[in-house]
Chain A
Amino acid sequence: MKPPSVFLGLLLLLLLGVLLALSVGKFSLSVPEVVQALLRQGSENAQTVVWNVRLPRILAAIVVGAALAAAGVAYQGMFRNPLVAPDILGAAAGAGFGASLAILLSLPILLIQGLAFVGGMLAVGLVYFMAQAVRRHDPVLVLVLTGVAVGTLFSSGTSLIKVLADPSVQLPSITFWLMGGLNGVTSKELPLLTGLVGLGLIPLILLRWRINLLSLPDEEAASLGVHVGRLRLVLIVAATLMTSAAVAVTGIIGWVGLVVPHAARLLVGPELSRLLPVAMVLGGLFLLVADTLARTAALIEIPLGILTAAVGVPVFLALLMRGGRS
């Protein structure tokens, strides 16, 4: 299949997904009722469900899925490793720490999200500056190792907070947050989320050709005229912005940023100007399907992180086995 037709096909699937997701849910509405509500007619509750509950959640799932996929594309290219996820530099661990701290301090939702965002950015900032101080080794290796170390440090901080938290009140909330979920998303979060993700996406789109070259060894890319260090910094900032914004709203959702870029690469190849749009649509679709399952498959809300892992892990293992053979 030619890349444009893959992209259009996925876009069509996404549209179908949106329509399906709009018409299923815990509040029972028939398809005609949903259509009516979309046209701002029918019962007020139906309109509330469609416009204020389902639509924001659907859009958030798409934006977050696309953001995590885009960040995954950037990180996998930049770290020359197809098994890298957007939280490789500690963004998720930092966000988890920030959110846990806010829950421990009984702060309002906006500050929980705010601290999660700041925590994610802070963790990656810390990783970057610490890695800059190490000059003796391959910069990519140093970044990844520092990321693992700092991520572990923030995760330990989160564990400490869980120990300090009230076990019947705060601890469950922290646990739920760390498992991820879109059940609390409202139309209030959407503009800022979309804005931050869009901001992070701009450098990715503008620099899409050059990012391809980061998958070469540093000195080879440099000899082709790329400022490797500068480009990598720009990408880290952009990808971290997107990851932190996404994670701040949804809690920790793993595997999307790892698996989706891979699948997209199988569809249209690694060249970024083709890969990026396909990966983003695929990421949006993946998370939309996962979240729709999360809110409809059982009587209770299934934590989203559990579902994305349930799908992501088998795919990941399949990719590993494929990689092992070649």
Chain B
Amino acid sequence: MMPMRRRTFLAFLAALPFLKGGAKAQSNRLTRLFGPPLRSPIRRIFVAGPPSAVMAYVLTPERMLGWPTQLSAPAREFVLPVVRDLPVFGRLVGSSATVSVETLLSLKPDLILDVGTVDATYLSSAERISQQTGIPYALVDGRLTESVQQLLELGELLGVQERAQRLAAYARASLAEAARFRAGGRRPRVYLARTATGLETGLEGSINVEVIEVAGGANVAAAAGRGGLTRVSFEQLLSWQPDIILTQDAQFFQLTQTDPLWGRLRAVQNKQVYLLPSLPFGWLDGPPGVNRLIGLRWLVRRLNAGAEPIDWRAETRLFYRLFYGQEPSAAQLEVILKTL
């Protein structure tokens, strides 16, 4: 314990002069470590859930031990061969946790990585799991607005500072751009439709619709309150009349194009329904990880007339190469960008 404490203390001292102007990477502002001290190098990473998987993949794909959920067949094509056939272990925490302590021990990970919500439940379960297994556990606040810091802190932790800084630069640019436009002007009213019916969405404060607020939009469902996900009725939508409808569900997008009932919405009449890519990870959600940084850039442009246009083919190639390690093929690009 002693070296650990000393290091934290030293880090704190080192960070002191900069605290006012914004925290530095080594301050570990977002990361809570549990269990025994880390032993470098960290070669084997067990990811606790989907956002953690994306984070581990973009930083150090070769150190991942497995996936928390099955990659779909088309998604497999978008990720590096080294991770395509990794086993699926399920999730470590939350309501449908399936990873047993024994599985965890037998995998001998150097670190359990958990990016996402940080609250009393997750803190206590992180502490319990690390105590039970004797494996270091890093719990990282996964909010979109903290993407830069997440990448830098984990880059430091995993010893891939250089790569992390390149990714963080993209994140910084994407977030700064959003912040610039968020400041002024009318906020367009956005509905994020989930599932095939489109009648499910996130309330205010839901991590699943976080990107709307960050991009400077107003989530219409905030009128129904704060919380997580909810179902809504079509008549609620009629009274909200969102300016823009976003979705990642191809079935629902098809429905808006053919169903006369959905045609009653101004957004549909004005062709303001957008199907965002979900391969290999969603642009808006699914999972709520750093995969949303490109969706944020897209949404900022969609919501704010002043933003300079981007060549989306080039941008997509750039983001996918930078974060996912390989550029999509021309055919794949076609599939992704078809409905944007």
Contacts and interface: CB of A to CB of B under 8 A. Distances in A.
Interface of A: 25-28, 44-45, 48-49, 52-54, 57, 103, 106-109, 112, 159, 162-169, 171-173, 176, 181, 183-184, 186, 295, 299-301, 303
Nearest to B248: A169
A159 B282 CA distance: 24
Nearest to A184: B197
Interface in B152-186: none
B88 to A, nearest CB: 8
A257 to B, nearest CB: 23
B235 A26 contact: yes
Contact of A164 (B50, B69, B285, B286): B69
Nearest to B249: A106
B43 to A, nearest CB: 27
B287 interface: yes
Across the A-B interface, the 6 shortest Cβ-Cβ residue pairs = A27-B235, A299-B224, A169-B286, A26-B236, A184-B197, A300-B230
B131 interface: no
A27 B264 CA distance: 14
B233 interface: yes
A54 B282 contact: no
Contacts of B234: 52-53, 183, 186
B261 A186 contact: yes
B235 A301 contact: no
A165 B238 contact: no
B59 to A, nearest CB: 20
B288 A168 contact: yes
Interface residues of B, number: 49
A166 B233 contact: no
A184 B238 contact: no
A49 B287 contact: no
Contacts of B207: 168
Interface in B10-58: 49-50
Interface in B181-238: 194-197, 199-200, 203, 207-208, 223-225, 227-236, 238
Which of A163, A168, A169, A172 is the most central at the interface, judged by chain B CB atoms within 10 Å of its CB?
Answer: A168
A316 B256 CA distance: 42
Contacts of B250: 106
A162 B203 contact: no
Which of A28, A57, A184 is the most central at the interface, judged by chain B CB atoms within 10 Å of its CB?
Answer: A184
Contacts of B232: 183, 300-301
Contacts of B235: 25-27, 49, 53-54
Given A172-B194, A300-B224, A300-B232, A52 B261 contact: yes
Contact of B286 (A166, A181, A183, A299): A166
B70 interface: yes
Contact of A44 (B236, B255, B264): B264
B329 interface: no
A181 B233 CA distance: 10
Nearest to B239: A27
Given A49-B235, A163-B96, A169-B194, 5 more contacts: A167-B287, A168-B207, A168-B286, A169-B285, A186-B259
B256 to A, nearest CB: 13
A108 B50 contact: no
Contact of B251 (A45, A48, A49, A109): A109
Interface string B238-255: 110000000011110011
Contacts of B208: 168
Which of A26, A48, A159 is the most central at the interface, judged by chain B CB atoms within 10 Å of its CB?
Answer: A26
Given A173-B195, A183-B233, A184-B199, A166 B69 contact: yes
Interface of B is mostly: loop
B203 A107 contact: no
Contacts of B197: 109, 184
Nearest to B94: A167
B96 A167 contact: yes
A176 B200 CA distance: 9
Contacts of B261: 48, 52-53, 186
Contact of A299 (B49, B225, B238, B249): B225
A141 B227 CA distance: 45
B121 to A, nearest CB: 15
B91 interface: yes
B238 A53 contact: yes
A290 to B, nearest CB: 15
B90 interface: yes
A103 B225 CA distance: 27
Contact of A300 (B90, B203, B259): B203
B229 A164 contact: no
B98 interface: yes
Contacts of B225: 299-300
B125 to A, nearest CB: 15
B211 to A, nearest CB: 12
A27 B238 CA distance: 7
Contact of A169 (B223, B231, B254, B282): B282
Given A107-B196, A163-B90, A172 B229 contact: yes
Nearest to B251: A108
Contacts of B199: 183-184
B98 to A, nearest CB: 5
Contacts of B203: 300
A168 B291 CA distance: 13
A26 B239 contact: yes
Contact of A112 (B196, B224, B228, B286): B196
Nearest to A112: B196
Nearest to B208: A168
A54 B235 CA distance: 8
Contacts of B231: 176, 181, 183-184, 300-301, 303
